[in-house]
Amino acid sequence: MNIAFIGCGKLGLPCAEAIAKKGHTVTGYDIADITSDTVDIKNNIQEAVQDAHIVFVAVPTPHRQEYDGRLPTAHLPPEDFSYDIVTQVLTETNTHMNKSQLLCLISTVIPGTVRSILEPICTNTRFVYNPYLIAMGSVAWDMVNPEMVMIGTEDGTQTGDAKELVDFYKTVMENNPRYVIGTWDECECIKVFYNTFISAKLSLVNMIQDVAMKQGNINADVVCDALAHSTKRIMGPQYMKPGMGDGGACHPRDNIALRHMAQKLDLGYDLFGSIMNAREIQAENMAKFLVERAKETELPVLIHGMAYKPNVEYQDGSYSVLVAHYCKKLGYHPIMVDPKTHPQLGPFKAVALLGHSAETTYRYTSQEIKDQMYCYLEPGSVIVDPWRKFNRNTNKYTVIYYGDTRYV
């Protein structure tokens, strides 16, 4: 297959050469004067793309130099990537392409950029967002042995352009990677949050190192090794399902105590306070959403499940109680329903938040999975489901999946 790479720098050229080694004919273009034994470097973009079936654009979306992390950056004002280079390259590339060709953008951007700025440039060709998870120093190997391949299309369709790209990658990959196909916006999220997860993880383990140095009698490796092998809840897929926020008495109180410890040891930063602040703002955002729906429909707010998890009486650390608190601050006193803490059957016609979801919250208990509601909701009610499990194919209720804005 004929492949073109526009942008043959420290990322693009090793990837282009890795593809060429798999038997594909690869052309390339870069503003710098470069050479390659396996990629045919052309004099301009037009020459590079004219015979290509798939064109990859791998150009930088840089910050100013002071944001590169070699010196402190936390004090600098937040700033988006610069899209000047990528918009210029896409504009020129688009003029030399047609609908029989597929343009794949690799460059890192923040969510929403492709839809609002970049894809509208590509009027002559088909467009896919295809960011890479590649580390400098092992680019060629990472290219053909990726952890996953992200393919973003306008609506997340897995056929057409996405299938064409998957079929191509199967001729290149040496492992058997996961193919994650979503919308442009979802793939933008995956790319940048993947990196942020790593940053957060490293910040936490290095905090353990700081505590060891300040407190004494602690080997950070012993602590981190114990956590690294805790595959049920820390290193496994559990708690990677957004829904109701962090709940239970232990997590808030531990973070409060650790925040005190951080101040006592003079660590110089307040990650624990930031975690608790994020939890509270997330609960307030959910409450605002409920109240907005209540105002639109002229219905009361109802919270379904008040204990911190199903089938217990404990409300310490309950996220539902926290959401209810913020609803009250907004002038709406929610109806509270829970068979253990607030038993009442209704009937109610309301904007109902599913604080408890049977499929999600019972999964790790020995309790029989239940799918019935704790109370009777009248037809015309609005169900807000942060677990995204309630059947939306119903004429009885309006069902909103909180956290899913792909289908609205």
Q: Is residue 260 part of a domain?
A: no
pLDDT greater at residue 408 or residue 297: 297
Q: How confident is the model at residue 364 (pLDDT cuts 50, 70, 90)?
A: very low
Q: CA-to-CA distance for 402 and 56, rounded, in angstroms?
A: 35
High-pLDDT (> 90) share of the chain, %: 69
| pLDDT attached to residue 331 | 96
Burial of 104 (0-12, 13-18, 19+ CB in 10 A): buried
Q: Could you tell me the CA-to-CA distances from 188 to 2, 15, 56, 114, 343 in Å, in that order?
A: 27, 20, 16, 8, 44
Q: Is residue 241 part of a domain?
A: no
Examine the pLDDT at 372 and tell me if it is beyond 70: no
| The last residue of a domain, from among 161, 184, 207 | 184
Q: Is residue 104 part of a domain?
A: yes
CB within 8 Å of 178: residues ≥ 6 apart: 147, 148, 149
As given in the structure block, the two tokens for residue 191 are: 């790319």
Q: Is residue 194 part of a domain?
A: no
Same domain, 289 and 147: no
Same domain, 171 and 296: no
pLDDT digits (tens, 9 = 90+) for 303-355: 999 998 888 898 988 999 999 999 999 999 999 999 999 999 889 999 999 99
Examine the pLDDT at 361 and tell me if it is beyond 70: no
Same domain, 143 and 33: yes
C-beta of residue 128 within 8 angstroms of C-beta of residue 161: yes
Among candidates 154, 147, 148, 149, which has minimal Cα distance to 185? 154
Among candidates 111, 175, 137, 196, which has minimal Cα distance to 11? 137
Q: CA-to-CA distance for 408 and 405, rounded, in angstroms?
A: 6
- Cα atoms in the 13 Å half-sphere on the side-chain side of 191: 28
Examine the pLDDT at 148 and tell me if it is beyond 70: yes
| The last residue of a domain, from among 184, 217, 235 | 184
| pLDDT attached to residue 29 | 98
Q: CA-to-CA distance for 28 and 48, rounded, in angstroms?
A: 6
Same domain, 305 and 180: no
| pLDDT attached to residue 368 | 41
As given in the structure block, the two tokens for residue 299 are: 């219905």
pLDDT digits (tens, 9 = 90+) for 8-27: 999 999 999 999 999 999 99
Examine the pLDDT at 70 and tell me if it is beyond 90: no
pLDDT greater at residue 164 or residue 316: 164
Kindly report whether the peptide bond that precedes residue 310 is cis, defined as omega within 30 degrees of 0: no
Same domain, 156 and 283: no
| pLDDT attached to residue 235 | 86
What are the b/e assignments for 149-174, b being 16+ CB within 10 Å? bbbbbeebeeeebbebbeebbeebbe
| pLDDT attached to residue 408 | 59
| pLDDT attached to residue 363 | 42
Q: Is residue 121 part of a domain?
A: yes
| pLDDT attached to residue 337 | 94
CB within 8 Å of 260: residues ≥ 6 apart: none
Length in residues, the chain: 408
Same domain, 28 and 163: yes
What are the b/e assignments for 239-265, b being 16+ CB within 10 Å? eeeebbbbbbeebbeebeebbeebeee
pLDDT digits (tens, 9 = 90+) for 213-223: 899 999 999 99
> What DSSP character marks residue 121?
G
Q: Is residue 221 part of a domain?
A: no
Same domain, 179 and 321: no
High-pLDDT (> 70) share of the chain, %: 96
Q: What is the largest CA-CA distance in the chain?
A: 75
Q: CA-to-CA distance for 72 and 299, rounded, in angstroms?
A: 50
CB within 8 Å of 394: residues ≥ 6 apart: none
> What CATH number is given to the structural domain containing 289?
3.40.50.720
Same domain, 172 and 309: no
Examine the pLDDT at 145 and tell me if it is beyond 50: yes
pLDDT greater at residue 41 or residue 157: 41
pLDDT greater at residue 246 or residue 202: 202
The mean pLDDT value for 348-373 works out to 65
Domain that holds residue 286: 276-401
Same domain, 171 and 283: no
As given in the structure block, the two tokens for residue 259 are: 């925040």
Examine the pLDDT at 371 and tell me if it is beyond 70: no
pLDDT digits (tens, 9 = 90+) for 238-292: 888 888 888 777 777 778 888 888 899 998 988 888 888 889 999 999 999 999 9
| pLDDT attached to residue 358 | 52
| The last residue of a domain, from among 153, 184, 215 | 184
Q: Is residue 205 part of a domain?
A: no
How large is the C-alpha radius of gyration of the chain?
Answer: 26
The mean pLDDT value for 1-5 works out to 98
Q: Is residue 257 part of a domain?
A: no
| pLDDT attached to residue 367 | 43
Domain count, the chain: 2
Lowest mean pLDDT segment, chosen from 86-100, 111-125, 254-268, 310-324: 254-268
| pLDDT attached to residue 406 | 86
